[in-house]
Structure 1
Amino acid sequence: MGTRSRWLIISVGLGMLLNPLNSSMVAVVIPRLQKAFQLDFTVISWIIFAFYIASTIANPVVGKVSDIWGRKNVFLAGLLITLAASLGAPFAPTFGSLIALRVVQSIGTSMLISVGMAIIRIQVQEKQGAAASMLTIFQSGAAAIGPFVGGILIYWWDWYAIFFVNIPFVIISFLLAWKMIPSDEMPKASVIRNMSFGKWWGVMDGAGILLFTAGLVPLLIALLSIEGDSPISFTHVMIGVAGLITISAFIRHELKVTTPFIPMRSFAKYPAITWINIEFIVVNLLFYTLFFGIPSYLQVVRHVSEFHTGILMLTLGLSSLVASPLAGRWIDKSGPKPALLTAAILMILGSLWLANLNEDSPLLSVCVALAAFGFSNGLNGVGMQAALFKSSPKEIIGVASGLFSSSRNLGAILSSLLIAIMMGGQFSYKGFHLLGVALTIIALCLLYMSWARREPAQHPQS
């Protein structure tokens, strides 16, 4: 890999890390926000859920936009939107306005994730496994060390510091990206600029985007309302049903239009893309269940301080950072499948270890499970991206990358649901044991999925 390719990946990676960093740092800010805005946990937790929901919707939308308007333009715009939200959020007068700015921040960072992957897929032709490993170092490393960084920032300053920390990353990424990302000529862009609004709406499939949003939001809200120790309300059931009906209408619409927002027929032509996204949802369901579950277990059940919890969680991030470059070289030599199988086995072992923790287990024993999941996260991050690059033709890489990022968010959202079902209203040793058993079963399913998936042929770059 040449020097220019490395600097291109660094410029893109510095922007891409902002989404996982901001989605993970906020987890340790919840108590401070409760105190600052005088709200209970249920309301404050929407600072997390709003980010994931907005990102899940925005990822494929900006992928579609970038396929038409140009990826460099969308990437730079995403940095500016992220900068504006990060400057405004610390001064939000109400919690509602903070949520709104958090949604804006999610959209901006989602533009960086989806478009950044597409840029690397197109511009870096050689050693794509190594390229994916470098992106994984930025993304997975940022997600894994987010709680530690957030804890340090809160310890020295206050909750607003987690927004100000974005500013240097945005500035450096913008300057590097302006210089390093080639300007891409998009054939449709000049034509669309001269279109009427009605024709532009049709090309962008505005109706499809609205149906996708109108179906996904109520469906996710209904899922997030489920609590293990409470009956499901009729209202939330109806909200979920309405979401499913709208999603069904969205699928029918996408199969009929000539320029669909999400090209269902293209994905049917390349089933490996769909399979990779399903695997990625399961991978992130496992990872984020551990990511959100372990800190609560340590603080609520074992009475460990926030600071020491952050120190222990570093095991997850460091293991992921060690695994990522090794995975890149391995995947360039042997393809994604061996690495993904190894990652699934590590998740099985880590889940079994969690299921056997008890009151007498030393705190450091938690690091064994964190290390297993950290190494698997590095292998999965590189392996899944390499598999996506290999499976996706150039003409739909923007949307494919966006859906891939949305799969990460869906896995994170489902992890909250799994934790709520297993734990009920309170973390306990019994609930944590059940959670470990559930993760073991899911990890075994992932192992089978990784084994059963067939490697697709490499698609041409041009």
Structure 2
Amino acid sequence: MSQHSVSPQHVDSFTSRSVNALPFTLAILLGVSLNAVNSSTISIAIPEILRQFHLTSHAIVWIISGFYLGSAITQPIAGDLGDVLGYNRLVYLGLGLLFITAIGAPFAPFYGILVLWRVIQAVSTSILYPNAIGLVRLYQTKRQGQFLGWIGMSIGVAAAIGPTIGGFLVKTFDWRAIFWLNAPLVILTAGLLWLGLRRVKPSGGRSQPALMHFDTLGTLLFVVTMVLWLIWSNSMKSSMAWLDLLAAILLTIVFIMVESHRTHPVIPVKLFRSRSFSLYSGLTVLLNVVFYAGLFGIPTFLQEYRHSSVMDTALVLFAMSAAMAVGSIWGGRFAQGSRRRIPLIGGTGIALIGSVLMVDLDHLTTIMLFAAAILLGFGYAINNVVLQKAVIESVPASHTGTIAGTYMLLRYLGAIVSAAALSAMLVTLSTSETLFVALSFISVLAFVSSFFTPWSRKTQGV
């Protein structure tokens, strides 16, 4: 990846003289949290949205997968676009798009338009994260590690309070309020960022020769490939689904062949030749299938089959997200050490216990329900941090930025698969048992896979 044109000395002078630290910090922390807020608040509103548009549970896949498809496509691309156009410009672009969705989505005349707004919402919030990190690298060099720690905590807190906020808004108003919430958040974030950088001259992005390295062909192939896989996952019961699958496979092969010969690929497919990287990547997808199926399956079954209230459901998700925040702290401690296999075995084992407890969700006592949600969230969070660090360490340091985007893609792939599986099962299930038996099986597979991961970290050369 090409380097930004601003020199280290210039960055230091910006950090010490030009950036207004407090509003800049608040803007970054709030901006990177918006994706987590919007991905978690919707889980509470899904049953009401389905009733509003007179839809069956099968339609759940579109509003979930649409968001994660937009995020999966945008994350690997947005950072490179920030290098080209300037990070602050991309952040303002993302905030502007998010504000438009806050105004337009509540007035969607039918479900398909709402899903489209949801995709745009995903794109806008996914633009923010990599470019916010880019701004941190430019303007906050002296305590960058501490700053990145704050970012991780803010995302965890956002995920924890998102379901509770969503439950309050849905109960007090209706599902439209979870979209309206973004309007004041966008205005606040943009205002804080302007205050933080108003004395800073915007970076110009890459030079013209570097601009030519942007992988336009790979980006287009990547977008179309992801869309084809989503179409197939949502049409598996169709008699013509095999054509969708064939098209997705063929285009995936073409994409891999093209990217393997690119100097600056949008997805570094050559890295999958590494055994450790492939193991970590596969484990990442498996764990995210389990977690996101639980995140969206639990509220649906609680409200539709146990007839739990919106606020009671929100409390369960709050417990899961709070456990994630705590688990992330422990995961960070484990990630700092040299051991990798032990925390991965422990994290997958804890998540497995939570999945097994969920098998009897229809009859669980309140205490056991909260215990299962907490175990699932805590185990997932430990693995999320350790796996992210392990994935980055499995490649040379020169690939760090690219591999960070690829890791986020793997997470979203797990979310998309879980949404498709959840939708398919909800059509025929009257209880949650089959769904969580399947999740337990995937958890067992992840648990067994963790025993084959490298014993300790293997940091590649710089």
Alignment correspondent of 2:350 = 346
How far apart, CA to CA, are the structure 2 residues paired with 1:116 and 1:448? 36
- Higher deviation after alignment, 404-413 or 435-444: 435-444
Alignment correspondent of 2:184 = 168
Percent identical among aligned pairs is 27
Deviations along 1:111-156, one digit per CA (max 9) or x if unpaired, are: 123334555578567684x655533333344334433321210111
Alignment correspondent of 2:241 = 236
Alignment correspondent of 2:215 = 205
CA distance 1:127–1:282, change in 2 (3 Å): farther
1:295 offset after TM fit, Å?
1.7
1:276 offset after TM fit, Å?
3.8
CA distance 1:403–1:94, change in 2 (3 Å): same
Deviations along 1:279-327, one digit per CA (max 9) or x if unpaired, are: 3222211211211222233223433222211122221022122233344
- Conserved? CA contact 1:78–1:112, under 8 Å: yes
What is the identity, as a one-letter code, of the residue corresponding to 1:54? Answer: G
1:35 offset after TM fit, Å?
4.4
1:162 offset after TM fit, Å?
0.7
- Conserved? CA contact 1:208–1:261, under 8 Å: yes
CA distance 1:84–1:275, change in 2 (3 Å): farther
Please show how residues 39-438 of structure 1 align to structure 2 within 5 Å: 39-43=55-59, 45-117=61-133, 128=145, 133-178=149-194, 188-191=206-209, 200=212, 203-226=213-236, 232-265=237-270, 267=271, 274-332=278-336, 338-355=342-359, 357=360, 360-391=363-394, 396-420=399-423, 425-428=428-431, 430-432=433-435, 434-435=437-438, 437-438=440-441
1:360 offset after TM fit, Å?
5.0
- Conserved? CA contact 2:341–2:454, under 8 Å: no
- Conserved? CA contact 2:280–2:391, under 8 Å: yes
- Conserved? CA contact 1:339–1:380, under 8 Å: yes
TM-score (norm 1): 0.82
- Name stretches of at least 5 consecutive residues in structure 2 with no aligned partner: 1-14
Alignment correspondent of 1:455 = 457
CA distance 1:31–1:373, change in 2 (3 Å): closer
- Higher deviation after alignment, 346-355 or 311-320: 346-355
Deviations along 1:42-101, one digit per CA (max 9) or x if unpaired, are: 446422222121221122121332343333332332222222222322233444433332
Please show how residues 1-12 of structure 1 align to structure 2 within 5 Å: 10-12=26-28
- Conserved? CA contact 1:134–1:325, under 8 Å: no
CA distance 1:312–1:336, change in 2 (3 Å): same
How far apart, CA to CA, are the structure 2 residues paired with 1:215 and 1:453? 35
Matched, 1:29 2:45: yes
SS of the aligned residue for 1:442 comes to helix
CA distance 1:318–1:240, change in 2 (3 Å): same
1:444 offset after TM fit, Å?
1.6
1:239 offset after TM fit, Å?
0.6
How far apart, CA to CA, are the structure 2 residues paired with 1:335 and 1:264? 26
What is the identity, as a one-letter code, of the residue corresponding to 2:166? Answer: G
SS of the aligned residue for 1:428 comes to coil
- Conserved? CA contact 1:353–1:369, under 8 Å: yes
How far apart, CA to CA, are the structure 2 residues paired with 1:246 and 1:211? 8
How far apart, CA to CA, are the structure 1 residues paired with 2:157 and 2:419? 21
SS of the aligned residue for 2:240 comes to helix
1:422 offset after TM fit, Å?
5.8
How far apart, CA to CA, are the structure 2 residues paired with 1:448 and 1:119? 38
Q: Give the number of equivalent residue pairs.
A: 442
Alignment correspondent of 2:7 = none
- Higher deviation after alignment, 167-176 or 315-324: 167-176
How far apart, CA to CA, are the structure 2 residues paired with 1:115 and 1:30? 30
How far apart, CA to CA, are the structure 2 residues paired with 1:422 and 1:324? 31
Matched, 1:442 2:445: yes
How far apart, CA to CA, are the structure 1 residues paired with 2:119 and 2:33? 17
How far apart, CA to CA, are the structure 1 residues paired with 2:267 and 2:442? 31
1:410 offset after TM fit, Å?
0.9
- Conserved? CA contact 1:118–1:401, under 8 Å: no
How far apart, CA to CA, are the structure 2 residues paired with 1:43 and 1:295? 15
What is the identity, as a one-letter code, of the residue corresponding to 2:419? Answer: S
How far apart, CA to CA, are the structure 2 residues paired with 1:291 and 1:373? 10
- Name stretches of at least 5 consecutive residues in structure 1 with no aligned partner: 194-199, 227-231
- Higher deviation after alignment, 240-249 or 181-190: 181-190
What is the identity, as a one-letter code, of the residue corresponding to 1:407? Answer: L
RMSD of aligned C-alpha atoms?
3.5
CA distance 1:167–1:270, change in 2 (3 Å): farther
What is the identity, as a one-letter code, of the residue corresponding to 2:114? Answer: L
SS of the aligned residue for 2:328 comes to helix
